[in-house]
Structure formats: C-alpha cells, structure tokens
Chains A and B, each alone.
Chain A
C-alpha cells in the first residue's frame, strides 16, 4: 500500500517539475552567452540561391566595419516571407523582437507602425543624407505622415513582360506590344498557332498580372491615385481596366503551380508571354542548377508590361528598427551598412536586383539589370500591390480573395464591387 502511495507522489512531483522546467528554459539559455561580442539578430527570409550570397556579402562588410558586433543570421526559409512573417508576428507580440527585420517597404509595414512596434528612422535619413541619394518619389511613397520606417536595400520591378522572341516571330508578331490593345492582338495571333498565349501560375500571379494591367489601363496618375483619399474604384475607367484584365486572362493557359513553371513554359517555347517581376530574369538566365540557362534577348526577351512604358512599378526589401530591440546600436549599425553604397552594391548584383540608391556603380549591373537601373533613375514610379507597397496586409488579402473568386466566375461587376469594398473597409 505504502509503495503505491510513494510511486504516485513521485510521478506527480516529477511531472510538475517537468512542467516548470519547460517554462524556465528560456532564461537559462540567454544567460549562457559567453562571447564578449554583442550579437545583432538580423531577421530575414533570404535563404534561396543568390539572395543568401548577397546577404553574406553584406554581412562581411558589416563585420569588417563593426569588429565588436557579431552578426546573427535569423533567416527563415519560404518565398516572399510567408512563414518568416508568421513567426515574426509571434515574436513581436511576445515583446521579443529581433534587432532588425526584413519587410517590404511601404504599406506592408503599416501594421507594425500602427501597433507601435517600429521606430521611425528619419534620423538615419538625415544623418546619412539618404534623401539625396534615394529617388524623391520613393521617399514620398514610403513615408507615413512624414515618417520613414525602413531602409530599402534593393529594388525589384514588377511590371515586366517576358516573352519568347522565336514564338512571336512564328506567330507573326513583329513588334513588341506596347499598349494593351496591341497586347490583345498579339495574344490572339499566338492563339492561332496553337501555343499558349499567356502563361500564369497560382492565384497570386494573377494578382501580379492585375496590378500590371491596372497600371497599363488606368495610367500612372490614376493608378497612384488609387491609394489616396480620392480614389475611384467604382468608376468607368476601372470597369474598362477590369474588362481588359478579363480579356487578357481569357488568353491564359491552365495555371501552373507557381511563377517558375509558368516562366519555364515561355523559356521552352510552350507559351509566348508571362508577366512577372524581374526576379524572373535570374531564373531565365542563371546556369542550370538555379535557373534555366537561357540566353537573354535570344531565348527570352523582356519589355515593360503593355501600357506601362516609362513607369517603374517597384517593390523593395527593406530593414527596420523595432522598438525595444535588445541591441539597438547594433541594429543601427546594420541599417547603415544596408543603406550604404558599398552594402547595396555588394548585395544587389548577387540577388539580381538593383540598388535603391541613384549613385550605384553602374559597371556592376549588366544586361537586364543595367536597363532596370537606367529606368529606375529616369522613369516615373508606382508601387506594387501584391508585394506590399501600396496596400496593407488586410487589404491585400481582400484583393487576393476577389481575384481568386473572379478566376472561377469571371464576373467583372462582382470583382469591381469587391475591390471597391476592400478599398473602403481596409483603405488607409
């Protein structure tokens, strides 16, 4: 009898101990940091080929400049940062932010700003005179009530039309379509040859297509006006733009798994066009283990998406300064590297993007990137929807839902109503 008692008590105590041990584990872990270098935790989702090399190059500069600081790479895998951002949310809510984290510059950061989780970095812009080296339109488009909350490291272009020159030639398309009407004509000609006119991927690539069509159909001023107080989502111009979208989408082949298989259809000559951001360049161009090893201007070619020539629809990865960062000085040191010419010129050629700074070393950027850099300095700017520049997260989800539903019912009036409703309920 007594034995059983003892056993019962022992088991109970042991399990209670186990429970408390789980709770107390964290504190012990932090105390065991022995290195006298101070750690700077840099949170990003750069784990893929190219981007990880770029991050390493920036890290080397950071460690050279700051011998007393230790770079801690807290990267979480997953394209466009889905998983990383879910983890980040929990960390921020628990009040244990990383020292600095990656985020798309623009409205995507607004949630953090509203929650009071980010510190404005205006002081850095003044100290480093960044307002002189970043394009003025960029500063305007990422400022919230006069405050800037992040340092853009790179710029990608969203409104790029990639195409297969040989296939176009065979279809009798002699000029690269520059307007939406020309684009539709070209799509029709390709359709006659039996090839897929337009390759698309999963639902987010259709939102990506939508932003290019909106920009091309509405024009830059009206498009940029969509994100202001006097936006017109219900008017006839929007109806026309969405009808253009419907027409263009009717030429799309069956959706591929993601943007890469869609781009591959173009590279392999199965499809003529695809509209995708300029990260596709690396995929087309890089040697076979990370890309398709195609020759630019021969196997594949590019142009601004129809109707958007002269406008650069941008998106940008940037770094932030979270409030309550354990090592604020370290984070500021990292931001300085990220903002510097040296840092951006080390990172971007590897990542396959262009620097946000106007004074970059142009000799480092060749082929597509050289053209992009030139356009970045001369074009008008517009922000991307799907990649977090113009709309906050809740709004972006609603746009994605509307496009997802549209993909099944192809009802323009319903799409327009949903988009207008989304702008009303989630607009800034």
Chain B
C-alpha cells in the first residue's frame, strides 16, 4: 500500500498527457503508417493492404526524386550555414565586445518571427527580376554597381534551393549563436589558462581545448537544425508556393493529399519525412539517455 502511494499520484498526474500524446502523436503516426500501406489512392475507396508497395513506387516518380534532392541541398546549406554563422557570432561575442547584450538580442530577434513572415519578406528580397525590372536584393546590387551579382535566386534550377536556405539561415543563426555562447561560457577559464601556460597560442586554445568541449552543443544544434530543415514547409510555401522548382517532400505531401486527392501517397511521403527526421533524432535520444545514465552512476 505504501509503495502504491508513492507512485500512484505521480502516475495520475502524467496520465492525461500520456493519453493525449499516445492518441494524437503515436496513434496518428500509426494510423498514417497504416494508410501508407494501403492502395487508397482516392478519397472514396476503402483501401486494401498492399504492404510497402507505395514506398517503392514513389521512387519511380520524377517529382519525388526532385523534392528529395532539393531537401538534401537545402538541409546541407542551411545546417552548415547556420552552424558556421552562429559559431562565428558566438566567437565574436565571446571576445567580450561592448554592448554584448544588445547584439545578442538583435541576433536572436529573427527567432521571434514566424517562417511565414520571413518567407513573405524574402520572397520580395529574392525577386528574380534583373536589370531595369530588378527589385529587392537585385536592385540593391544594381544600385551598388554590382550588376554581375544579380541572379535568379530561388528560381535558379541548379542552386535555387541554396538560395532558399538563406532566409532560414538568417532566422536560425541567432539561435545557434545563443547555444554556442552558452557553450563557450561553460568552458572553465582554468582550462584555458592552463593551456596558455603550456604555451598554446590563442588559436590552439580554441582548436584543442574549447572546440572539443563544445561537441555536445554542436550536436544539439545539428539535431535541432536538421529536423527543422527536413520537414520544412511554411518557408517554402511562403516564398514560392507550390512550384516544382522549389519542391520539397512536405510540399509534395500537401499537394498529394489536397490537390491530387491521393491519401495513400500523401501518407507515404509523410512516413518518409518521419523516417528522415528520426534518423537525426533517435541517435540523439539514445546518446542523451546513455549520458544521463552515465552521469547518475558516477
């Protein structure tokens, strides 16, 4: 009885959230996966179980190949760009510049804007008009006499998705900066001192002492940015709408469900997105879990 008394109140407290998450997250995930394994290719039919057929045939579609390619380019540019820029900002900040608080707020501010608002503004900034029709950034380049820098931005068939990552980098690098800054501050001054006494240059201090200690922070940032990037939808739709030239899996999923009226295809794409995100998230969870256990033991 006393043992029951110890765990039952706690369980009761968390039950509602367990139930809600169970139904609305995991239940829906399961329901989606089941739908993806049927041939319910319109809204009327009941759908027979077809196993993994949809998952295989999706790869025959040209559009799927394009959208996966776009997602990879976007993710690579966005994650690396935001990490590099965020790290650089944190590095400069860490050097103890004046008015650090102000700068920190300024760089963090874009986080408060939604991707949709960012997208609407950047759609205008990245207008593809050139020469006398130029607006936004192209116009700016024109006014500065840098006409050769004018290009089609996200409408470029090869590097359009890299341009699409620019607003995302703009928005998230401040956040990465905050993470890194906390990381930098967490490195004890004694360690740096010790390294300096041993004759390290300032660069070597960073290379051999600070950076290794920042690995957990980098990993967290990577996971957070990576999963945002793989399921990106709002930014793309706000900047370019549902165009093939900037198609990504999440937009394709929307089109499959609401325009083509093909629920099974939409569910298949959704499953792939979950899979791609979990490739990022699951190892991270395992790693944190292990670390937490390790800490408890020690």
Contacts and interface: CB of A to CB of B under 8 A. Distances in A.
* Interface residues of B, dominant DSSP: helix
Contacts of A394: 42, 260-262
Nearest to A4: B9
A405 B12 contact: no
A85 B258 contact: yes
Interface in B126-147: 127-130, 132-133
B241 A401 contact: no
Interface residues of B, number: 37
Given A111-B42, A114-B42, A393 B259 contact: yes
A390 interface: no
> How many interface residues does chain A have, given as a range?
35 or more
B111 interface: no
A270 B132 contact: yes
Contacts of A398: 260
Interface in B86-143: 123, 127-130, 132-133
Given A15-B16, A19-B20, A405 B9 contact: no
A15 B12 CA distance: 11
A398 B41 CA distance: 14
Interface stretch (B190-198, B214-222, B243-251, B287-295): B243-251
Interface in A14-63: 15-16, 19
A412 to B, nearest CB: 15
Contact of B130 (A19, A254, A401): A254
B42 A203 contact: no
Interface stretch (A5-13, A67-75, A121-129, A338-346): A5-13
Interface in B21-53: 42-44
A298 interface: no
Interface string B231-269: 000000000110111010000000100111110000000
Given A111-B43, A393-B260, A408-B245, A254 B16 contact: no
Given A8-B9, A203-B244, A407-B244, A397 B259 contact: yes
Nearest to A401: B63
A202 interface: yes
A202 B15 CA distance: 49
Nearest to A88: B258
B63 A89 contact: no
Interface of B: 5, 8-10, 12-13, 15-16, 20, 42-44, 62-63, 66, 123, 127-130, 132-133, 152, 155, 157, 240-241, 243-245, 247, 255, 258-262
Given A254-B152, A401-B62, A404-B244, 9 more contacts: A11-B12, A12-B15, A93-B43, A111-B261, A115-B42, A203-B243, A253-B133, A254-B133, A400-B244
Instruction: Please name the 4 residue pairs, one residue from A and one from B, whose CB atoms are nearest each other, closest first.
Output: A404-B244, A15-B16, A8-B9, A408-B157
24 contacts: A1-B5, A4-B9, A7-B9, A8-B9, A11-B13, A11-B16, A12-B13, A85-B258, A89-B258, A114-B42, A114-B44, A115-B43, A115-B44, A203-B245, A254-B133, A255-B128, A257-B123, A394-B42, A394-B261, A396-B259, A404-B63, A405-B244, A407-B157, A407-B245
